Chain A
Amino acid sequence: MALVDFFVANGDKILELTLQHVKLVGLAVATAILIGVPFGIYISQRETLANLVLSIAGIIMTIPSIALFGILIPILSIINQGIGFLPAYIALVLYSQLPIIRNTYVAIKGLDPNVRDAAIGMGMTTWQRLMKVEVPLAFPVIMAGVRVAVVLTIGIGAIAAYIGAGGLGVYISRGISTSYTVMVQAGAISVAVLAIAFDYLLGYVQKKSAPRQQRKGLT
């Protein structure tokens, strides 16, 4: 089959593109977690701010990814980083914010109030309560948000090829413009497999991280 031949012949290139892709996604999601989780915890304590933040994040989600790339390009051109890695990275971080912040917020708010009550009653400070009790319990739901973010960014990362950020989308874009069907398929299948694999992996981590009595089927 032509497709299989292609994979065999271009194995290195595919690997290189995959690594580029994973690097982009990994950095973006890691950044998003570092920003989003603390922020999510913060807004879980302040309801009014929560609505605002979630609405803004929601609005960002309605912006089609290529448009967000497009908007970032002129802004970043000022520092000569118009195309390539940086705009893609920033856009991906922004897109990951909603699932991560929202899930963190929902997770912490959704905790059994009795648990919080007991922690406060035992004399824990807010910081201790959050770090020792609430975050560990909220971990599975936060993990679900990270999972959504990863799958999302793998998808959008494919589009980033169109602004020079590399990744597996390169095969799709080049394949389409040169009418090289097999290349298109190779790119599409690779990125699809990548997404499915990570989803499965993170799903496993999520299940395993749920403490015994919490297997409630949270998505």
Chain B
Amino acid sequence: MIRYTNVTKIYESAAKQVRAVDDVTMHVEEGQICVFLGPSGCGKTTLLRMTNKLIPKTSGSIEVGGKEIDSLNPIELRRSIGYVIQQVGLFPNMTIEQNVAVVPNLLGWDRVKIKKRYEYLMELVGLNPDEYRKRYPWELSGGQQQRVGVARALAADPPVMLMDEPFGALDPIIRERLQNEFLNIQKNVRKTILFVSHDIDEALKLGDTIAIFREGKLMQYGRKDEILSNPAGEFVEEFIGSERMLRRISLNTVGDLIRSMGGLAAKTGIMPMQRSNTVDVQANLRTALSVVLSTPHGEAYVVDEEQKALGVLRLADFHSFVRTMSPLKSSG
């Protein structure tokens, strides 16, 4: 859907030359959320903004939907791409409804269609359409504003969305809630999304694929479990952090572990089954590990939805599971 080939952006000043984006080549598939991840100044935002031609590229090619963006009119291109920024940028001189309707209006949709679309989108982002219709941005909280921002970006139903740290300015509780709702929305709309973030946890939560950047260069690009299992080089390893394996196993459930090991140890009957030492078969492995560690013998019961015991999970099982995942590579 979006293809970058040898994309480079050079900023020249009297003193020096800065390669904000350095020879990036990758392909983002349709319907995927790709997170551009990296420390500040790594070029992730620059690359994002080159995709909708807000920043001109120096060399290389960017294709959106099979077409080279150079051949596309920038304004039309942008109207076909949803754009969400960290500070939201809702237009203070327009009501919420007018804000959401901006691109459809620019495209000349008729009023009935716009109204219906507004109502649909507000419900999608969890806001009551009638309550907010005539309100102004300054009346809304940060979280509410960003929901409207997302609705506004989706208004013309663009196939592609660019999101630049959209939840970065929100407090952690709101941020988590919006992240969850965002994943739900994506299940419905299935857009191709480029999402810039500097937070590894956010990237792992939201991204299908992750592209890690450093000083303009693409260090690694792949599915998140690949990156966690096989970080390409010291920088990526360090960026992910020392809790890499914990993050990695959180991508799998207890069920996955049982399947890969072909079964579980039977009940030993030593300790009674209580809440504090049981774990659901659908729970993620990181949570399961935490439960196992908290029990006196390092063992927890695994139960299904009917609370029927399926077996016992032990500390050693985690290690065996990890070994059966793709072989780990560490540098030097």
CB–CB under 8 A between A and B in the complex?
no
Q: Chain A residues in contact with chain B, CB under 8 A?
A: none
Q: Chain B residues in contact with chain A, CB under 8 A?
A: none
